[in-house]
Structure 1
Amino acid sequence: MPHIYSQARKQYENDGDGIRLQKLLAQAGFGSRRKCEEMITDGRVEVDGELVTELGTRVDPKRQQVRVDGSRIRLNPRHITLALNKPRKVLSTMDDPKGRYTLRDIVGDKYERIFHMGRLDYDSEGLILMTNDGELSQHVMHPKYEVEKTYIATLEGHMSGTVCRRLVRTGVQLDDGWIKLDHCSIIDSNRDQTIVKVVLHSGRNRIVRRIFGAIGFPVKRLVRTQIGPIKLGDIKSGSYRVLSQDEVRALSKEVGL
């Protein structure tokens, strides 16, 4: 149970620095100033682990941690998180000594210390998340949280729904152990190819390609369309967009922040 906001914080509140808590919450997308005031007085907001119920409390978004209903609010104005649509034949890195096309060629040097959270192999396409928030990056990539990822895969050959269900129910043996899909459904198929939607938590290297290759259906094209709550949507290949506060909050919650 959090403590009521301590008297020790009063000096910070009274010195005129920082931003009023209800204003900060409104800027973070929690609604009008009045609604945010009600959230505070209803006891839903914590600052540095202490419950805040007094209006007018000031906080420093660069130094202090704010939670609403137990979920952390990402406050540092310097932090930025991007959703990028990686084309084929682009390296999931910021620099390449051989001079090949990298993520830096797409985002440029506009954002300080930004880095990718996870990778896609050279021939795969789709969603990559990037951020300069080190804590968020560590949580998204940590195996403990196993963030769910969704792919659309175009396979060589005609694959039946029975095979899809088997990959979910029993999985397949790879060189580094058994692996099962969380979801597999056929979108379209003909004699020559099958398009499937797959969902899995594993972050193993080239895992989707290895799964289908192991059962005789090599992947011709692979597009990642979703990571946790973040969707690729209509981002054009080779472009990116900045995630909204709501999206960053949802992603943070997904990885325990």
Structure 2
Amino acid sequence: MRINKYIASCGVASRRKAEELILNKKVKVNGKIVEELSLQIDENNDVVEVDGVKISTSENTVYILLNKPEGYITTVKDQFDRPSVIDILSSVSERVYPVGRLDYETSGLLLLTNDGDLTYKLTHPKHEIDKTYVARVKGKLTEEEISNFRQGLYIEDYKTAPAKLRVIKYDNVQDVSMLEIKIHEGKNRQVRKMCKAINHPVLRLKRVALGKINLNDLKIGEYRHLTNEELNYLKNI
């Protein structure tokens, strides 16, 4: 089996993300760093590690919804030894991996699973699944800024896709605004960069929904398994 397909089958990442892990020298087979994307492995005999963690295929597929607290990374290992969201899942015996990422400073909805095919589907740009955030930002937005945000903004070397923005309220005393923001892309720190681009830096950020999947009354730091209805919805997007 090709190495990127094996990594996906273990639920670690999509095949595309698996290739990125290989190029970043995060993958070892039998103790040696993988140099070739086309490497074929024997899933029954070869020992595969990602970020120093041994991986294997799992018979039981699990689907977890976590209300991520601030101050947790969404990778398995971290060079600064910061806590990982994996540390929160004390009662989950299967090895699961985040579907996409949330910034260290960002809280809210995060899916975790060992279903590589679903991970690939949910992270592939063609599906354009809305990710809904509530952002607390500095200042009061003008109509022009709101319009520019909705049309897409130039950030670094790319222009973001059209996004949705709604002002929930403005606090005149503190000079801060609460915003509901919906994007379907998953660029690194995209919401923060978009708000900064219109001169309203993010003070707090929380993801509250992925498509029709919502946190509802799930408390910060708590997690639960997806319902059959939620899982069917994600698989049929």
TM-score by length of 2: 0.70
Name 1:223's counterpart in structure 2. Answer: 206
Name 1:155's counterpart in structure 2. Answer: 137
Name 1:99's counterpart in structure 2. Answer: 81
Name 2:171's counterpart in structure 1. Answer: 190
Question: Do structure 1's residue 236 and structure 2's residue 215 form an aligned pair?
Answer: no
Taking every aligned residue pair, what percent have the same amino acid on both sides? 34
Q: CA 1:111–1:181 in structure 2 vs 1: closer, same or farther (change >3 Å)? A: farther
Question: Do structure 1's residue 78 and structure 2's residue 88 form an aligned pair?
Answer: no
Name 1:179's counterpart in structure 2. Answer: 160
Q: Match of 1:194, SS?
A: strand
Q: Tell me the amino acid that sits aligned with residue 165 of structure 1.
A: S
Q: CA 1:166–1:251 in structure 2 vs 1: closer, same or farther (change >3 Å)? A: same
Question: Where do 5+ consecutive residues of structure 2 fail to align?
Answer: 1-57
Deviations 1:208-239 (A, max 9, x none): 00001011100000100111221111111111
Could you tell me how far apart the structure 2 residues matched to 1:110 and 1:88 are? 21
Could you tell me how far apart the structure 1 residues matched to 2:197 and 2:122 are? 28
Could you tell me how far apart the structure 1 residues matched to 2:86 and 2:115 are? 17
What CA RMSD, in Å, does the superposition of the two structures yield over aligned residues?
A: 1.8
Could you tell me how far apart the structure 1 residues matched to 2:143 and 2:213 are? 27
Deviation, 1:84, is 0.4
Could you tell me how far apart the structure 1 residues matched to 2:96 and 2:140 are? 41
- Structure number with greater Rg is 1
Q: Match of 1:251, SS?
A: helix
Equivalent runs, 1:75-154 vs 2, <5 Å: 78-108=60-90, 110-154=92-136
Q: CA 1:231–1:152 in structure 2 vs 1: closer, same or farther (change >3 Å)? A: same
TM-score by length of 1: 0.65
Q: Match of 2:154, SS?
A: strand
